[in-house]
A and B are shown apart, each in its own frame.
Chain A
């Protein structure tokens, strides 16, 4: 079932000569995980901000469950269903206590206090932060802050989670924490994920990867399919996962290796019979 539909989207920033998003059409199915990659300035952040009506398209339209993001009457309903996590963990938390921050959106919707309590507790549990309900956000690590930001969205019971490079400013353990959380939400609750990232290892988790270039979708493929074509990746200015790169180089030297090697484990399994 389709949950988001983008039709021929264009978006030009005020004063800019060329559009940042230039003719993108896409259908996202419920429960899908989509990774959006591309170098800086390729239009990927602008694109996902169009998906929950944070930006309105200059041309074309975005439908969420059939509702148009340009319709003022339904935009709040759309924003509740489609939540967004941003890059900088320090710019998203507004309250002085974690649980108040998670409750912020619900209070604005006028949800009953008892129901707010229940949902806040549940959301913090789902991101593994229930022990920090009474903590001050500024005492948390970057990864913990991002998980609190995700809890604030979960409390709204959304159907889609949009993420704009949520791990770019985190250290390796923070990055793992956040990705594990999102993976669990996706696998266990079937939440739809649209994830902008520079890290190809993260894009491996997706069902589908979109590569953006000059505001357009230059490539659309399953991650394994995309990352096998190392030459194409280089042209698109992307890093191949190291094991995919090694497999590519070894094949170029005449070794016969199976296609689609992405991880260390797969490489070990492929090499063992040969060495």
Chain B
């Protein structure tokens, strides 16, 4: 289900002294099954943008078309759009409220009016998809660890079986192990051709998993491209207040000294191979 954003603009509190432009003239498309990373510093418009993708905010100007449904149309079936586009907010564990994990995950499917068997099937599938054992289904979500709570909250969105999953900073505040758990699960969530959109501050996380990266700056789309294309524009990224993976910094520093390395490297293993090759080749000097 392709997502097409065209000349999208949004202004908060328009016509008041507090008016602020959040999005300006933004255009891009996302193909079925793609993994797209969105990066940008605080206030760059990331959150405003993703709320447009499932109709939580309606476009002021421009259009957002999701699976041929035009969200700027007054009569658009937003309920259907929200079922197809699942949005996981930042710190989603704060939104858990039910008495048991099973009830919490099943809340969305229950509201769809599905049969008891179907709800049960979806809850079990979702809990497996976030890598939790079925034994936790009858526990209170509040007895779980931080990382587990977050996974339960994500399972609640997966149980709606969305074809696009949007994750807003899914690893914020987790320790390295928890971060790794969530990131490695995204591969599972892509199964069946699901599209993933991940908003993140962490360049390293985005670099490893995304097919394509959108860089937002001051409400505009500043860059889009593969991780390699984006990280080769290091200076611009730093100017926007963004971090660059350490390996990309090393790549740029070595290139500056005259080493023949491909531009925009970001992967540690790739860098390791490139260095070893050059040591053995012994052609270059500093």
Contacts and interface: CB of A to CB of B under 8 A. Distances in A.
A134 interface: no
B50 to A, nearest CB: 16
Contacts of A275: 254, 259, 275, 278-279, 284-286
B41 A268 contact: no
B199 to A, nearest CB: 11
B173 to A, nearest CB: 5
B201 interface: yes
A246 interface: yes
Contacts of A239: 176
B268 A267 contact: no
B257 A268 contact: yes
B259 A253 contact: no
B42 A246 contact: no
Interface stretch (B132-140, B156-164, B239-247): B239-247
B249 interface: yes
Given A172-B242, A255-B279, A264-B250, A249 B176 contact: no
Interface string A15-44: 000000000000000000000000111000
Contact of B276 (A141, A168, A253): A253
A172 B176 CA distance: 17
A271 interface: yes
A108 interface: no
Nearest to B248: A264
B145 interface: yes
Interface in A164-192: 165, 168-169, 171-174
A169 B178 CA distance: 15
B51 to A, nearest CB: 18
Nearest to A248: B272
A18 to B, nearest CB: 15
B108 interface: no
Interface string B270-286: 01100110110000111
A242 interface: yes
A142 interface: yes
Contacts of B271: 246
B177 interface: yes
Contacts of B175: 39-40, 198, 237
Interface string A31-67: 0000000011100000000000000000000000000
Contacts of A8: none
A242 B266 CA distance: 11
Interface in B7-54: 41-43
Interface of A: 39-41, 87, 141-142, 165, 168-169, 171-174, 198, 237-239, 241-243, 245-246, 249-250, 253, 255, 264-265, 267-268, 271-275
